[in-house]
Amino acid sequence: AATAPRVPSTALALQNFDMNYSLRFGEAWPSVRISLLSEQKYGALVNGFADVDHVAQELELVNAADFVSKSLQKVQHLQEGSVVEPAAREQSAPQEAPSEHQAAKLPPLSALVTPNIKCYTFPRGDITRFRSARPDVLGIFNYYLLDAASLLPVLALNIKPGDLVLDLCAAPGGKTLAILQTGLCGHLAANDISISRTKRLHQVLNSYVPKQVKETVCITSWDGRNWAELESGSFHKVLVDVPCTTDRHSVMEEDNNIFHKRRSKERQMLPMLQLQLLVAGILATMPGGEVVYSTCSLSQLQNEYVVERAIEIAETEYNIGTQVKDLSYFRTLFQNTFSFSSDCRLGELVLPHLTANFGPMYFCKLRRA
């Protein structure tokens, strides 16, 4: 045993995914697989606390575009200029621009996502890399590089002016920073159980947010599963971006790999941890408030099944009703940027694709009765 070759964690992860995801995705799996094993595509989240106009000009000069405003403007144009008969519905091909009918079926843009978040991406098929962000004269970095699909759960929160917001598993801080970019929070609580990861969260906010703004964020290192013991029914919006198998990382990086043999027990317990965190998020939400659950995994066991079980537990153990909100309009809004799965029972799933190599990113929105 001492001389047997050690199987890399990345290889174990790929073996696991080949066994499970080939059944889940069928003929689509080889395409998703090669995308997972290829270089990830990034987006540049513009820092609204820096010189936004200057940053936007720099990014546009290298042929990047703000996928959020671009999508919203296109839909708004179609909504304002089209009158479509209900009987004229047609199925549009994947990755096409929103049809007039799709746009007409969408609710008002103000009810969809906040337009304040700006994130630049390169066109589909363009694998240009953004250069590293630079600090301005005040020491604030101009943009934050992240998987652009990770913004979708934040956009799904659709934060309104004065909302009390909880980011239950906040570190390393990309989504927390995106929440702050909306400029709409009445209060933001950012929590992560890991003290070392919370330090990373502090570093991100120190680099991107003015001191007076950071001081308005309550950063804690509690066990998120017990959050209801601290603040129950207190928040308008709660983001539950749970620890998961981080599929892309698992097949690409040995460091901190959840498929390491010593972490097999931890990996097996992930769905239980995710379930406990989502239930805690539901309990932390005030009646009428909303929870967005997200992972960067393709696993139904960590995605839809966790949501279904959490809904059941909230009802049976806490007498709390929850309603799954339809997020299919995200496919209409952002299909020119991301490749979406067409068969999620609950929520939406961004699939890695060589022409748009973001994700995986699963997100589902619940409204508490």
Distance CA 283, CA 342 (A): 30
Catalytic one of 119, 244, 296, 364: 296
CB atoms within 10 A of CB 123: 14
For residue 41, CA distances in Å to 25, 35, 56, 64, 68 come to 22, 10, 19, 13, 16
Domains, the chain, ordered by start: 149-368 (3.40.50.150)
- The reply to whether 1 sits in an annotated binding site is no
Q: Assess contact for 326 and 320: CB atoms under 8 A.
A: no
For residue 307, CA distances in Å to 235, 274, 279, 294, 344 come to 19, 9, 9, 10, 12
Two tokens, residue 209 = 């947010």
Distance CA 168, CA 190 (A): 6
Distance CA 45, CA 63 (A): 15
pLDDT of residue 201: 95
Known active-site residue 185: no
pLDDT of residue 100: 54
Q: Describe the strand order of the beta sheet including 143-146 as a list of residue ranges.
A: 65-66, 119-121, 43-46, 143-146
With residue 164 as reference, give the H or E element that holds it: strand 163-167
**Residue showing tokens 């950071």:** 214
pLDDT of residue 78: 66
Q: Assess contact for 178 and 151: CB atoms under 8 A.
A: yes
Q: Assess contact for 40 and 122: CB atoms under 8 A.
A: no
pLDDT of residue 112: 67
pLDDT of residue 105: 62
DSSP 148: G
Per-residue confidence in pLDDT tens, the chain, 369 aa:
455 558 999 999 999 999 999 999 999 999 999 999 999 999 999 999 999 999 999 999 999 999 999 888 877 776 666 543 333 333 333 344 555 555 556 666 656 677 789 999 999 999 999 999 999 888 899 999 999 999 999 999 999 999 999 999 999 999 999 999 999 999 999 999 998 889 999 999 999 999 999 999 999 999 999 998 888 999 999 999 999 999 999 999 999 999 999 999 999 999 999 999 999 999 999 999 999 999 999 999 999 999 999 999 999 999 999 999 999 989 988 999 999 998 899 999 999 999 999 999 999 999 999
pTM score, two decimals?
Answer: 0.91
- The reply to whether 104 sits in an annotated binding site is no
Distance CA 124, CA 96 (A): 12
For residue 363, CA distances in Å to 16, 117, 163, 275, 329 come to 22, 18, 20, 14, 13
pLDDT of residue 53: 93
- The reply to whether 13 sits in an annotated binding site is no
- The reply to whether 119 sits in an annotated binding site is no
- The reply to whether 174 sits in an annotated binding site is yes
Distance CA 98, CA 367 (A): 27
- The reply to whether 170 sits in an annotated binding site is yes
DSSP 289: E
